[in-house]
């Protein structure tokens, strides 16, 4: 059974610091990986996708993928209070497959 | 640009009543469409996905069904709701199996 594991938190980070979020996945056939941000009561919003080993940067966000270790991470630089949310890690086998989600990490940015 | 709509936004239904949730996508053709459910304290769970009109794949056996009568319309139904059907129902779309984008969701409470 495909699983994505995340630490549920809460993860508390001071404003302006780097927030580091991690997840692991069980299915070695997974090809695509995604990070979503979900504010309380709202639907998930895609913030990063990564398909190959290494780092991918977009503004203050950096996604990292290590397929050998089956490990995905998200770094948020210069954390802002508006970054406080639940971050969902998801994997896909590719094609039209649906996503397998972790339960999310609750991130709190302290002003 | 693409837009995804879901309605209703909230719904309170008694046990045993029928259900119909609708999702429509604008601004794209032949999208892959997905239904997910997020129950309280649980992760996002894939329920159904569709790669075209009339083509439905079910991921989880349950008392729910899905239909895709038009290219950009996806409907989730039930003949008789259970208490365990309560949750946040999310429709998503993607093209060519890449990033998935979620609609605003329907919060269903079964009483």
* Chain B neighbors of A102, CB-CB under 8 A: 43
Does residue A96 register a pLDDT over 90?
no
Over range B50-69, report the average pLDDT.
90
pLDDT at B61 over 70: no
B contact test, residue of A2, A63, A99 with most B CBs within 10 A = A99
H-helix or E-strand spanning residue B51: strand B44-52
Higher pLDDT, B96 or A47: A47
B98–A49 CB contact, under 8 Å: yes
Question: Contact A92/B97, CB-based, under 8 Å?
Answer: yes
Q: Tell which B residues from 38 to 67 touch A, by Cβ distance under 8 Å.
A: 42-46, 49, 51, 59
Residues in A touching B90 (Cβ below 8 Å): 43-44
- Secondary-structure breakdown of chain A: helix, strand, coil percentages, each rounded to the nearest 5: 5, 55, 45
Mean pLDDT over B49-64 rounds to: 89
Q: What number is the average pLDDT over the span B20-33?
A: 95
Which of A4-13, A87-96, B87-96 is predicted least confidently? Answer: A87-96
Q: What is the mean pLDDT of chain A?
A: 95
Q: Is the pLDDT of residue A94 over 90?
A: no
Q: Sort out which chain A residues have CB atoms less than 8 A from B46's CB and list them.
A: 98-100
- The answer to whether B32 faces chain A, any CB pair under 8 Å, is yes
Q: Over the stretch A11-35, which tens digit does the pLDDT of each residue have?
A: 999 999 999 999 999 999 999 999 9
Residue B108, pLDDT > 90, answer yes
Q: How far apart are CA B73 and CA B33, in angstroms?
A: 9
pLDDT for residue A98 is more than 80:
yes
Over residues A50-78, mean pLDDT: 97
Residue B1, pLDDT above cutoff 90:
no
Residue B66 sits at φ, ψ, to 5 deg, of: -135, 155
How far apart are alpha carbons B34 and A34 in whole angstroms? Answer: 16
Q: Are A67 and A53 contacting, i.e. CB atoms less than 8 angstroms apart? A: yes
Q: Which residues pair with B37 in a beta bridge?
A: B45, B89
pLDDT tier at B14, thresholds 50, 70, 90: very high
A95 vs chain B: nearest CA distance in angstroms? 4
- CB nearest A99 (choices: B51, B100, B103): B100
């Amino acid at each position: 059974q495909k699983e994505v594991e995340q630490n549920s938190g809460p993860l508390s980070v001071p404003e302006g610091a780097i927030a580091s979020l991690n997840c692991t996945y069980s299915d070695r056939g997974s090809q695509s990986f995604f990070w979503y941000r979900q504010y309380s009561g709202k639907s998930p919003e895609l913030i990063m996708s990564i398909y190959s080993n290494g780092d991918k940067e977009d503004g203050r966000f950096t996604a990292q993928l290590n397929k050998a270790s089956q490990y995905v991470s998200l770094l948020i630089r210069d954390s802002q209070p508006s970054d406080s949310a639940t971050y969902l890690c998801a994997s896909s086998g590719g094609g039209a497959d649906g996503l397998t989600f972790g339960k999310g990490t609750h991130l709190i940015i302290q002003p | 640009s693409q837009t995804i709509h879901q309605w209703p936004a909230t719904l309170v239904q008694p046990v045993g009543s029928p259900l119909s949730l609708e999702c429509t996508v604008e601004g794209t053709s032949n999208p892959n469409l997905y239904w997910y459910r997020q129950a309280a304290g649980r992760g996002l769970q894939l329920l159904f996905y569709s790669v075209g009109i009339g083509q439905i794949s079910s991921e989880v056996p349950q008392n729910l069904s899905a239909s895709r009568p038009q290219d950009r319309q996806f409907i989730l139904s039930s003949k008789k709701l259970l208490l365990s059907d309560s949750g946040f129902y999310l429709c998503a779309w993607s093209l060519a199996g890449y990033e998935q984008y979620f609609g605003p969701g329907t919060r269903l409470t079964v009483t």
